[in-house]
Structure 1
Amino acid sequence: MRDFGNGRPTAPVLSEGPVMTGGLADSVFDTANRAPDLPQIARRTDPAGMTWAPVTARQLRDQVVDLARGLIASAIRPGNRVAVMARTRYEWTVLSCALWAIGAEVVPIHPTSSHEQVEWILRDASCVAVVVEDEQAIMTVGSVCASLPLLRHVWQLDTGALDELVERGRPVPATTVDSLRRIVLPDSTAVVAYTSGTSGHPRGCALSHRNLATPCDTLLAGWAHTVAPPGVQPAVLAFLPFSHVYGLMIQQVCLRGGFLMGHEPELNAEALASALLTFRPTYLYAVPYVLEKLYKKFLRAAQQAGRGALFERAVRTAQDYALAVERQRLGAGPGPGFDLKLQHTLYDRAVYRKLRAALGGRVYGAVSGGSPLHRELGLFYAGIGIPVNDGYGLTETSGGVTVHPAGREKSGTVGRPLPGIDVRVAEDGEILVRGPSVFQGYVNDEHATDMALRDGWLATGDIGQFDSEGYLTITGRKKDIIVTSGGKSVAPAALEERLRVHPLIQQAVVVGDNRPCVGALITLDPEFLAHWRGLLFAQGDTPGRDAREENALRQEVARAVAAANTTVSRSESIRVFRVLPEPFDVTNGLLTPSMKLRRDAITRRYAVEIDAMYQSSARIPRERRSEELPTWDDSDDVFRRAR
C-alpha cells in the first residue's frame, strides 16, 4: 500500500508497463514485426465518410519509414523541432511517428491559432519547419515568416506535401531511418507542447518519450481489459485535438496497445455523431463538453419525437440505478432493488439501447478528461450501460495523473493516482504531483520551471481534496478563486459545471472579484435554443409571442442558475447573471483548444456587460433582491441578441 501524502491508504500498485529502451516510434515497428497484418488504423474510403478501410501495422510502418526518409532528405535532423498545425487526421499520426523515428521533436499548434500565437510558438520553439493543413493556415504562417529566420520549410497537407516528401526521400536508404531510430533515448525530448495559455503567452512544456509513454503503458497494463469485450480488438475514434496532450495520449494508447484507431477532424455534434455511427468504437475518449453535447442531442431527438417525458423518466432511472450500483460496488449499499431493476430493464429496451446504437452500438465504456465531469452526467452514462472513468492530468504531466480504478468507479471524482504517480494536497489545497510523467521543464523559461517544480514535486495550480477512500476531487484552479468585496472566496468551477448540465446552457463563466456578490456570464446552445423555441410555441406566430418567449427564457435560465446555487452556500451563490449574444469558442479566442475557458480574455471582452450587470442589480429594489431567483436585467433581450 502506498501513502500519497493525504494519510489515506491506496489501492495495491499495479504493473507500470514494460521497461522503455527507445522512443515512441518504436511501438509502430514492434507491432509491425509482431503482428504485421493487425489493423492499426481505419481510414475513410469515401467523401461521405460512411465506410472505413483498415491500414495494417505493416502498412503504417512502411508509410512512416517512407516519410522519415523524405524528412531526412529535407535536412531534418535529430533534435530539430517541426511544428504541426492541423486537425486530428491520419497524416498527423504518420508525420509525428516519422519525426520521432529520426529523433526530431514535434511542436503541436492548434489550427485555429492566431497570427500572434503562431509566431510566438514558432519563434520560441526555434522551429525549422511547419506542416499546415490548408490555404488559410499557409496565409497565417506566411504573414509571420519574415520574423522567423530559422524556419526553412512550410509544408501543406492538402496540396500533397507528404507525397512530395516521400518522393524526395527515395534515394535515402531505409536503414538510415533504423540507424537514427535506434539512437533515440527514452529521455530525449519528443514533444514541446504549449500550454493552453488561459492568460499570457503559452509556455512550451518539454515532454520526453518516457514522459508520454509512461501513463499510456500504465493504463494499458491495468485498464486495457475495460476497453472492449474479450476477444474483440479495441477500437477508438480519435477526435480530440492532437495539438493538446490529451489527444496525443489517446494516439499513443492506441498505437502502443494495438487498438484500431480512426480519426475525426471535426468536433461538432453532427460530424461526431456520424463518425461514431459508422466507425463503431468500443471505447470513447472524450472531454465533458463532448459528453454534454451528446446528451443534449439525445434529449433534443427525444423531444422532437414527442418522447421527451419518457426520456426524462429514463434519465432519472438510469441515474438512480447507477448510483445504487456504485454504492454496492463501494460497499456502501445493497444495490438496486427489484422495482428499480425492473424499471431499468424496461427503459433499456425502450431507450438505452437506442442511445448506445446512436454511438455505434459497441461502446463498452469511456474516459472523460480535460476538466471534471459532472456527477449527474457520469451517472447517466453509467446507467445506460456506458461507464465513464473520469481522469485528471495536465500538459506538464503528459496527461494522466489519476483515473478511476477499474471496477471501482466513483462518479463526481477523478479517481485515484495512477500506479507510479505520487499525489498530495498542500496545506493551501493545491495538488502536487511527482512521477516519471512529469515534464522536463519549460522551454526558454528556467524561472517558470523552478517555480513549478519544487523539490521534485510539480505544483499543478489546481485545487482539490481526497475523500476517505483516497478518491480525488478537483474543486478549481488556484488562480481562478474569486474573492468578493465582502471577502468571500468562491471556487467557480463547480457552479459552472452545474450550469452546463442544463440543455439550454452551452457555457458559463462565474465572475465577482471585488464585487458585492457572485455573478455569471452565460451563453446558450444555439441548436437547443432553436429546438426549445419550436417546442414553446409549436402552433405558430401569435400576438405577443416574442415577449412571452423572452419571459419564458428568463424563467428557464433563472431556474438553471437557482439549481446551480443549491450546490453552494448562499454567500457563494450567483445573484446576478447575463446571457451573452455569442458562444465562447476556440475561434473567437474565448476557449482553449482543450475547451477550457480563457477567463482573462472573457472578462476583458465583456467588461462593459459585467459592469452593466452589477449596476442593474444595484438599481433593483431591496425586496426583489431577497427573492430566491437570481436577477436578470430587463434590458437583456436574449432572443433579439441571439438571432
Structure 2
Amino acid sequence: MSKIDAPTIGQLSILAAHAFGPRTALRYKRHGAWHTVTYRQLADAVDRIATGLLRLGVQPGDRVGLFAETRHEWTLCDLAIARAGAVSVPVYPTSTPEECAWLLDHAAARTVLCDTAARAETAATCPGVKTVIAFEDEAPAGCRTLAELRNTVPADTDRQRLDSIADGIGTGDLSTVIYTSGTTGRPKGCMITHDNWRAAGTAISALLDGLGDGEEVYLHLPLSHIMSRTIQFVALSHGAALAYFGGDIRNVIAELAEVRPTILPSVPRLFEKAHAAVKDLPPQVVADAIGGRVRLAATGAAPMDPAVLDFFASCGIPILDTYGMTESTALMTANLPGDIRYGTVGRPLPGVEIRIADDGEILTRGAAVFAGYLDNPEATAEVMTDGWLRTGDLGELDADGYLTVTGRKKDLIITATGKNIAPSALENALRLSPHISQAVVIGDRRPHLAVLVTLDPDTVTAWATEHNIPGTWPELARHPEVKALVQAELDKANARFPPVARARALAVLDRDFTVEDGTLTPSLKVRRNQVATRYAALIDTLYGTS
C-alpha cells in the first residue's frame, strides 16, 4: 500500500502499522548513535502512552499541552493525545514562562507533556495545570515521566476503550489548538479539525509527490509550527520515515550527511548560510555533503535570492518557495518541481482557492481553512467573510495564477507625505545579505524611511577577522568599516525600489532581537511595536530629532 487515508489523527498510528508494519517510521539520535522505530513499534508506543494518559484522568475532548523541542517523543505524544481522543495544544519551546502560563490557562490545559526538567518545572507552576509529564527520566518532584506511560501495558479493556474513543471522534471534531505568534497582542488559538488536517494533507501531497517507502524527511523546524506538523502527518500517511535532528542546530549539516534524507523542509536562512559556505564547491560535492539524496527542499516565511536558488538547483536540489499560515492549516500555494517561478510563492495547491480583495489583501477558501479562534468569535468574524479567510497579507496574482506576497496589511507604513509602503519588501531584500540577521523598516508619519539592522554574528565575525578588525561584538557593530559594509548592502537593496520606498537612514544595532527581550515572538517573528518602543530614542536621531 502506498498511502493510507486516516479519517482522524487518532486512527493514523493504527492504520499506518497495518499498512507499513516493519518499515522505519522514525529515526532519532541519542548519544551519538541513530535509533529506529518501526511503524508497528510506533503504534504500540502510541497506545501505551494514550492508555497512560487515560489512566491519569485525561478524557476525550480534554486539551493537553505539548511543550517541547522537535524530537521523536513529540510525535509519539502528539499521536497519543489524539488516540486518547484529546486535543493537543503545542507550546513553542522558545516561550517564556509567562507566555506558557497564559497559553495553557487560556486553552484550559490540565495535563502537559514536556521534554526537559526545566520546562516541566515551568509547566508545573502554571495555574490550572494538574499533571506534568517529562520526557526525561529525571523529572522534577511531583511530575510523572514519559517512561512510566511507555511502560504501561494496555489490557483488553484499555484497547477496547481506545477503539471506542476512535469510533466516537468525528472528522469535524477539534484535533488541535495552535496559537498564533501574537506580534501585536495576545496570541489567538487556531482551532484545527481532523477534516482540516485531511484537506491540508491532500494539498501538501502535491508538493511532496512521490513520498513513500525509501523516502525520508529530516525535521529540525519546530513541530509546534503548523508546517512541520502537517509534513509529519503526511509522511506517516505515506509510509515514509521521519528523521529528527539531534537538538543542536549547529550540527544540522553534519546530520544531513548521516541521515541522507530525500525531503528537507527548512527556512531561507539555512540555505543562505549554506550557500555562503559552499558556493565555490562543485555541485556534486555540495549534494553529497547533505547526503546525496535530497530531491527537494521546501521553505517559506521570506523570499530567497535567485542566485541561491539557482546554485542549489544546479546541485540537483530544487528549493520550493511556499506560502501558508496556521489559519489555513499550513500551505495554500507552492512552487512545485518543474513548475517554479522565482519571486512568487507558486500557485494554489489542490483544494485551495485564492483571490485578491479590492484593497490587495490575499483571501483563501477551502476545506483546510480553520474552524475559528478558540473562545474568540469576534476575532473569527474579523477574518472570515462568506467562507473566505482574510489572511492579512497583501499580494498579487499574475495571469498564470502565481502568487506574489508583497507584505502584511497591518504593517503598511504611511509616510508624512501620504505614501503607502509595505516595509517587508526592503526588509526581505536586506535579509538576503549573509551579513544581516534582521531588518526593521520604519517611517510611519515620518518624512522618509529608515531601517534598523542587526548583524549575523557568524558571517560578520568571520568578515572582521579577514579584515583584521578586532573588538567585542558591540564594538564591531559600531565600527565604521562594519557600518560601511551594511551601508553597501542597503545601497544594493535600495536600488531595487523607487525612491519613496528606499531607506535614507541606517542604524546598526549591537544586539540581535530575542524572545527574552520581547522583540521576537516565540515563533521568532519580529514584534515591530516593541522594537519601535525599545529603540525610540535611536529612531529619533535618525530623523534629526531627540
* Farther-moved stretch of structure 1 (136-145 vs 434-443): 136-145
Cross-structure match for 2:75: 93
Q: Give the whole-Å Cα distance in 1 for the aligned partners of 2:462 and 2:525.
A: 26
2:46 paired with 1:64? yes
- Please say if residues 80 and 104 of structure 1, whose CA atoms lie closer than 8 Å, have aligned partners that are also in contact: yes
Q: Structure 2: give runs of 5+ residues left out of the alignment.
A: 139-144
The residue type equivalent to 2:282 in the other structure is V
The residue type equivalent to 1:577 in the other structure is L
> Could you tell me which of 144, 148, 157 is aligned with 1:164?
148
Instruction: Tell me by how many angstroms 1:168 deviates.
Output: 5.0
Q: Measured at CA, do residues 21 and 385 of structure 1 come closer, stay the same or move farther in structure 2, by a change above 3 Å?
A: closer
Q: Measured at CA, do residues 512 and 402 of structure 1 come closer, stay the same or move farther in structure 2, by a change above 3 Å?
A: same
2:505 paired with 1:590? no
Cross-structure match for 1:290: 270
Q: Give the whole-Å Cα distance in 2 for the aligned partners of 1:144 and 1:223.
A: 40
Instruction: Tell me by how many angstroms 1:573 deviates.
Output: 0.1
Cross-structure match for 1:304: none
Cross-structure match for 2:192: 207
Q: Give the whole-Å Cα distance in 2 for the aligned partners of 1:383 and 1:573.
A: 33
Q: Measured at CA, do residues 385 and 18 of structure 1 come closer, stay the same or move farther in structure 2, by a change above 3 Å?
A: closer
Cross-structure match for 1:75: 57
Cross-structure match for 1:217: 202
- Kindly report which structure 2 residues correspond to 1:92-111, keeping only aligned pairs within 5 A, or say none: 92-111=74-93
- Please say if residues 246 and 399 of structure 1, whose CA atoms lie closer than 8 Å, have aligned partners that are also in contact: yes
- Please say if residues 492 and 510 of structure 1, whose CA atoms lie closer than 8 Å, have aligned partners that are also in contact: yes
2:232 paired with 1:248? no
- Please say if residues 4 and 237 of structure 2, whose CA atoms lie closer than 8 Å, have aligned partners that are also in contact: no
Q: Measured at CA, do residues 169 and 516 of structure 1 come closer, stay the same or move farther in structure 2, by a change above 3 Å?
A: farther
Instruction: Tell me by how many angstroms 1:179 deviates.
Output: 2.1
* Farther-moved stretch of structure 1 (564-573 vs 577-586): 577-586
2:31 paired with 1:47? yes
Cross-structure match for 1:576: 505
Deviations 1:397-421 (A, max 9, x none): 1101011143111121100011111
Cross-structure match for 2:8: 23
- Please say if residues 93 and 522 of structure 2, whose CA atoms lie closer than 8 Å, have aligned partners that are also in contact: no
2:203 paired with 1:272? no
- Please say if residues 375 and 411 of structure 1, whose CA atoms lie closer than 8 Å, have aligned partners that are also in contact: yes
What secondary structure, in the 3-state scheme, does the structure 1 residue paired with 2:66 have?
Answer: strand
Q: Structure 1: give runs of 5+ residues left out of the alignment.
A: 1-16, 300-310, 312-349, 619-643
Q: Give the whole-Å Cα distance in 1 for the aligned partners of 2:347 and 2:210.
A: 17
* Farther-moved stretch of structure 1 (443-452 vs 155-164): 155-164
Alignment RMSD: 2.4
What secondary structure, in the 3-state scheme, does the structure 1 residue paired with 2:77 have?
Answer: helix
Q: Give the whole-Å Cα distance in 2 for the aligned partners of 1:547 and 1:212.
A: 47
2:114 paired with 1:185? no
Cross-structure match for 2:454: 523
> Could you tell me which of 309, 317, 337 is aligned with 1:386?
317
What secondary structure, in the 3-state scheme, does the structure 2 residue paired with 1:615 have?
Answer: coil
2:369 paired with 1:438? yes
Cross-structure match for 1:314: none
> Could you tell me which of 6, 20, 39 is aligned with 1:35?
20
Deviations 1:250-270 (A, max 9, x none): 2112111211101126463x2
Q: Give the whole-Å Cα distance in 2 for the aligned partners of 1:41 and 1:586.
A: 31
Question: How many residues get paired?
Answer: 535
2:116 paired with 1:154? no
Instruction: Tell me by how many angstroms 1:351 deviates.
Output: 2.0
Q: Give the whole-Å Cα distance in 1 for the aligned partners of 2:519 and 2:238.
A: 35
Q: Give the whole-Å Cα distance in 2 for the aligned partners of 1:609 and 1:592.
A: 22
The residue type equivalent to 1:118 in the other structure is C
Deviations 1:69-114 (A, max 9, x none): 1011111111000010100011110001011112100000012212
Q: Give the whole-Å Cα distance in 1 for the aligned partners of 2:253 and 2:175.
A: 33
Cross-structure match for 1:319: none
Q: Measured at CA, do residues 385 and 563 of structure 1 come closer, stay the same or move farther in structure 2, by a change above 3 Å?
A: same
Instruction: Tell me by how many angstroms 1:434 deviates.
Output: 0.5
- Please say if residues 244 and 593 of structure 1, whose CA atoms lie closer than 8 Å, have aligned partners that are also in contact: no
Q: Give the whole-Å Cα distance in 2 for the aligned partners of 1:377 and 1:548.
A: 26
What secondary structure, in the 3-state scheme, does the structure 2 residue paired with 1:98 have?
Answer: helix
- Kindly report which structure 2 residues correspond to 1:235-384, keeping only aligned pairs within 5 A, or say none: 235-264=216-245, 266=247, 268=249, 270-298=250-278, 311=280, 350-384=281-315
2:78 paired with 1:117? no
- Please say if residues 239 and 263 of structure 1, whose CA atoms lie closer than 8 Å, have aligned partners that are also in contact: yes
- Please say if residues 404 and 414 of structure 1, whose CA atoms lie closer than 8 Å, have aligned partners that are also in contact: yes
Cross-structure match for 2:113: 131
- Please say if residues 227 and 282 of structure 1, whose CA atoms lie closer than 8 Å, have aligned partners that are also in contact: no
Q: Give the whole-Å Cα distance in 2 for the aligned partners of 1:18 and 1:58.
A: 16
Q: Give the whole-Å Cα distance in 2 for the aligned partners of 1:26 and 1:475.
A: 40
2:433 paired with 1:502? yes
How high is the TM-score relative to the length of structure 2?
0.92
> Could you tell me which of 488, 494, 508 is aligned with 2:419?
488
Query: Percent of aligned positions with the same letter in both sequences?
Result: 35
Q: Give the whole-Å Cα distance in 2 for the aligned partners of 1:136 and 1:611.
A: 41
Q: Give the whole-Å Cα distance in 2 for the aligned partners of 1:121 and 1:207.
A: 16
Instruction: Tell me by how many angstroms 1:31 deviates.
Output: 1.9
The residue type equivalent to 1:286 in the other structure is S
- Please say if residues 48 and 152 of structure 2, whose CA atoms lie closer than 8 Å, have aligned partners that are also in contact: no
For the pair shown, the structure with the greater C-alpha radius of gyration is 1
Q: Give the whole-Å Cα distance in 2 for the aligned partners of 1:465 and 1:521.
A: 27
- Please say if residues 478 and 510 of structure 2, whose CA atoms lie closer than 8 Å, have aligned partners that are also in contact: no
Instruction: Tell me by how many angstroms 1:606 deviates.
Output: 1.8
Deviations 1:217-266 (A, max 9, x none): 3332x3444569xxx61111111111111121121121112111011264
How high is the TM-score relative to the length of structure 1?
0.79
Runs of 4+ residues deviating >4 angstroms:
17-21, 168-172, 546-549
- Please say if residues 211 and 235 of structure 2, whose CA atoms lie closer than 8 Å, have aligned partners that are also in contact: no
Q: Give the whole-Å Cα distance in 1 for the aligned partners of 2:311 and 2:495.
A: 20
What secondary structure, in the 3-state scheme, does the structure 2 residue paired with 1:206 have?
Answer: strand
Cross-structure match for 2:142: none
Deviations 1:382-402 (A, max 9, x none): 233211111111010110101
What secondary structure, in the 3-state scheme, does the structure 2 residue paired with 1:575 have?
Answer: strand
Q: Give the whole-Å Cα distance in 1 for the aligned partners of 2:208 and 2:175.
A: 24
The residue type equivalent to 2:226 in the other structure is V
Q: Give the whole-Å Cα distance in 2 for the aligned partners of 1:614 and 1:360.
A: 50
- Please say if residues 193 and 205 of structure 1, whose CA atoms lie closer than 8 Å, have aligned partners that are also in contact: yes
Instruction: Tell me by how many angstroms 1:163 deviates.
Output: 1.3
Q: Give the whole-Å Cα distance in 2 for the aligned partners of 1:598 and 1:612.
A: 21
- Please say if residues 282 and 365 of structure 1, whose CA atoms lie closer than 8 Å, have aligned partners that are also in contact: yes
Deviations 1:104-135 (A, max 9, x none): 00000012212221122111111121112223
Cross-structure match for 1:638: none
The residue type equivalent to 1:198 in the other structure is T
- Please say if residues 28 and 71 of structure 2, whose CA atoms lie closer than 8 Å, have aligned partners that are also in contact: no
Q: Give the whole-Å Cα distance in 2 for the aligned partners of 1:607 and 1:572.
A: 21
